[in-house]
Structure 1
Amino acid sequence: MKDKLRNIIQYKESIFWLLQISGWIAFCAIRTLNGYAHGRDPEYFYATLFGTLGGFIITLGLRYIYQKLRSVSPPPVTMLLSVTTAVVIGSLIFSTVEVWTYVQTYEPDWNPRGWEFLSNALYDVFVLLTWTGLYFIINNQIELQEQREKYLHAMAEAHQAQLKMLRYQLNPHFLFNTLNAISTLVLDKQTKEANNMLSKLSAFLRFSLVSQPMQKMTVDEELYALWLYLDIERVRFQDRLELDFEVEDEARQALLPSLLLQPLVENAIKYAIAPLENGGSIMLRAKVEDNQLVIVLSDKGPGLQEHRDDGFSSSGVGIANTRNRLEQLYPEEHEFDIGPNSPTGLKITIKIPYEVKETNEDKLSEVAE
């Protein structure tokens, strides 16, 4: 954010000097051409040039005054009076400089007084008022852009914080059950099985903590994390947990939010496997259809009435959490449907845009274009 603000400040400076220099060059050219059109000699250019330099320096002084006024943010009336006073005084100085340079460089005998000097001063008032108006309009537009950048940055930070909150919530029941199972294996002197289960738990925790909430992974990588989790649960449920996964080859390289499916599978184990004496099965299907990644997760448990969607089931990230993550990442481009499975159980269907990792060849082709 600091770099972005620094870029905005540099952008403001660049815009000011570009407009300041080009504007006064245009002013000098117009005054010179107008003088030539009225029969002035070529030396008139020097009078116009030095007068323009005077206006250039005076407007730098006005800029300094305006910056000070903007920094203290006075009431509108005070601001208006201050700006008007600065413009009037600046115009009188500008006219004096123009008259002096005109006399010194072009017409030594010219000595404007009264209305002649006043008309020249009023013209300079118009010039400086135009400069002042453009200064405030352009600066206000840049400040609006700066505020918009800050707002978008704050929204992005809030968005990422919300995703982290949704993502970094590990089920204490899962940890408790896993550690309890490891303890039981140790007490039964099944050290090999206990060590194997501990290694899988460590690999799963490492994978879940390393992956970022904004990060997307391939379906293959998601399945790897899912199998780490399910291998741990298989130690608990043995033959009571049956798995049936079918993933099309094209879908394996599709991208999806990291660890999106694990809370849903955990939810299915909690409500479709654990309560049943004979256990049950969990089915997962993934395919690409109409440029969308379609994932269907279903079980043969008691059905929808037994599942909870209160935001606290399945490690606090269950169905409600997954829905929120999808809404954050794909606001208008996803589907998340929950319904009964046939003949029994629950079926969850997820549809998100089909994306794949960008390869080096893709990046090179983009650069070439």
Structure 2
Amino acid sequence: MPQWEKLVDSRERLFWTLHTAGWCGFAIIYYIGSFLQDMRSIWLFVIILNAYSGWLLTIPLRYIYRKALTLTPLKMLILVGASLYFTALIWTLVKNVNNWEIYKKGYRPDEWYWYFKDTINSLIMIGCWTGGYFGVKNYQMLLREKQNVLKASSMAHQAHIKMLRYQLNPHFLFNTLNAISTLILMKENKTAEAMVSRLSDFLRYSLDKDPIRRVPLIQEIKALELYLEIEKVRFEDRLTVVWDIEEKTKSALVPSLILQPIIENSIKFAISKLEEGGCISISAKTFGRDLMLNVSDNGPGAEIKNGNLPTSKSGGVGLHNIQDRLEALYVKNYSFVISHNYPSGIKVNIRIPYEISENSSDSKIEN
């Protein structure tokens, strides 16, 4: 929040700052306006004394007006008007006494009502103070409402991102548990046990990560290695993974588990369809101010319409989930493209802003 907004948001600090500055400004303007009339120090003293009395007399108005804001409009107008007029009368009396006792050295008017001479001028000044008070008060209320709206919007945005992110866990878990169940039915207990162990490590990583926060790519690579170890238990030598990770990209921030659904999709619709197995290539490179992530396979491929795979080839929520998460996190500053990989297969490209974690500890691989 900018400094001036912090000042406006702090009621105590703002009131005393503007209250004092306003009356100092009154004294300066009044003295400049009457500079040619009298340049003696005694006249300056009277002006300062009048400004100080105005400073003191308007302090109670703050608490009266604060109470007035809780009343009905009619009662508020009556209370504000009466308080304004009464304060102006008192200030007029004080100013005239200061002027006659100090500047005119004991002058006394013939009629009592002369003590309230120039009440109109006092009303104008106190009226300006009142207008300024309510103006700033309304601005504070608008600023507070704006902050509440932004906070509510941010909370809703974060809840949406969390929802999208947590959809991945049951989606992945369902597929893996099915595979473990199949292994158990086939009495391949050791293989099933290995998958359960790796699944436990992967889910621990998945659940430990805050869906709102982005993590360094090196941590995502570690998570993908855990996931691929699970899949290699099933596919053994049929699954080949080629990594091409540019060194400077390892500290780049990415949404957690953003690549896992893509790799899962490649395994389900590419590797599993090839009797001799297949290859998945994963790369990360920088291009200007962007981070380019690429996942491709050499499977049989699929029909692509308008940059999307048919529903039956999208692995359920997987790829659509990624697009929704990227939209929620980066709005328009990203790209998500699905295309054919030559000579065969599917290629998925993701472009997001290249950002590096300021916390060096974030770059460490977590076990």
TM-score (norm 1): 0.81
- Please give the residue correspondences for 1:58-97 in structure 2 after superposition, counting only pairs within 5 Å: 58-72=57-71, 74-75=72-73, 79-80=76-77, 82-97=79-94
Deviation digits for residues 91-130 of structure 1 (CA, Å, limit 9, x no counterpart): 1122122223334444422327599666510110111111
Tell me how large the CA RMSD over aligned residues is: 3.3
Classify 1:259/1:182 alpha carbon distance in 2 versus 1 (closer, same or farther; 3 Å). same
- Note if contact 1:304-1:346 (Cα within 8 Å) is conserved in structure 2: no
- Note if contact 1:171-1:315 (Cα within 8 Å) is conserved in structure 2: no
Equivalent pairs, count = 350
Classify 1:71/1:275 alpha carbon distance in 2 versus 1 (closer, same or farther; 3 Å). farther
SS at 2:336 equivalent: strand
1:166 Cα offset (Å): 1.0
> Which of 249, 252, 259 is residue 250 of structure 2 equivalent to?
252
Q: Which whole-Å CA distance do the structure 2 matches of 1:42 and 1:354 have between them?
A: 66
SS at 1:124 equivalent: helix
Q: Which whole-Å CA distance do the structure 1 matches of 2:150 and 2:311 have between them?
A: 32
1:327 and 2:327 matched: yes
Classify 1:333/1:55 alpha carbon distance in 2 versus 1 (closer, same or farther; 3 Å). same
- Please give the residue correspondences for 1:1-369 in structure 2 after superposition, counting only pairs within 5 Å: 11-31=10-30, 37-39=36-38, 42-72=41-71, 74-75=72-73, 79-80=76-77, 82-107=79-104, 108-111=106-109, 120-172=118-170, 174-182=172-180, 192-274=190-272, 280-299=278-297, 300-304=299-303, 307-309=309-311, 314=315, 316=317, 318-358=318-358
- Note if contact 2:194-2:233 (Cα within 8 Å) is conserved in structure 1: no
Structure 2: 5+ residue stretches without partners: 1-5, 361-367
1:82 Cα offset (Å): 4.3
- Note if contact 2:43-2:103 (Cα within 8 Å) is conserved in structure 1: yes
Aligned residue type for 2:134 = F
Q: Which whole-Å CA distance do the structure 2 matches of 1:251 and 1:23 have between them?
A: 55
Aligned residue type for 1:95 = T
1:85 Cα offset (Å): 3.4
Q: Which whole-Å CA distance do the structure 1 matches of 2:156 and 2:295 have between them?
A: 30
**Mean Cα deviation higher: 195-204 or 50-59:** 50-59
1:167 Cα offset (Å): 0.8
SS at 1:304 equivalent: coil
1:235 Cα offset (Å): 1.9
Q: Which whole-Å CA distance do the structure 1 matches of 2:110 and 2:198 have between them?
A: 95
Aligned residue type for 2:132 = L
Classify 1:171/1:186 alpha carbon distance in 2 versus 1 (closer, same or farther; 3 Å). same
SS at 2:168 equivalent: coil
SS at 2:284 equivalent: strand
1:207 Cα offset (Å): 0.7
1:334 Cα offset (Å): 1.4
Q: Which whole-Å CA distance do the structure 2 matches of 1:112 and 1:14 have between them?
A: 45
1:192 Cα offset (Å): 4.7
1:258 Cα offset (Å): 1.5
1:354 Cα offset (Å): 1.9
Aligned residue type for 1:230 = L
SS at 1:223 equivalent: helix
Q: Which whole-Å CA distance do the structure 2 matches of 1:245 and 1:131 have between them?
A: 70
- Note if contact 1:303-1:341 (Cα within 8 Å) is conserved in structure 2: no
Classify 1:43/1:205 alpha carbon distance in 2 versus 1 (closer, same or farther; 3 Å). same
Classify 1:82/1:333 alpha carbon distance in 2 versus 1 (closer, same or farther; 3 Å). same
Q: Which whole-Å CA distance do the structure 2 matches of 1:94 and 1:291 have between them?
A: 64
Deviation digits for residues 61-87 of structure 1 (CA, Å, limit 9, x no counterpart): 221122122244x34x66555433332
Classify 1:79/1:313 alpha carbon distance in 2 versus 1 (closer, same or farther; 3 Å). farther
SS at 2:258 equivalent: coil
Deviation digits for residues 206-231 of structure 1 (CA, Å, limit 9, x no counterpart): 11111122322232221111121111
Q: Which whole-Å CA distance do the structure 2 matches of 1:159 and 1:153 have between them?
A: 10
1:298 Cα offset (Å): 2.0
Classify 1:284/1:10 alpha carbon distance in 2 versus 1 (closer, same or farther; 3 Å). closer
Structure 1: 5+ residue stretches without partners: 1-6, 361-369
- Note if contact 2:8-2:140 (Cα within 8 Å) is conserved in structure 1: no
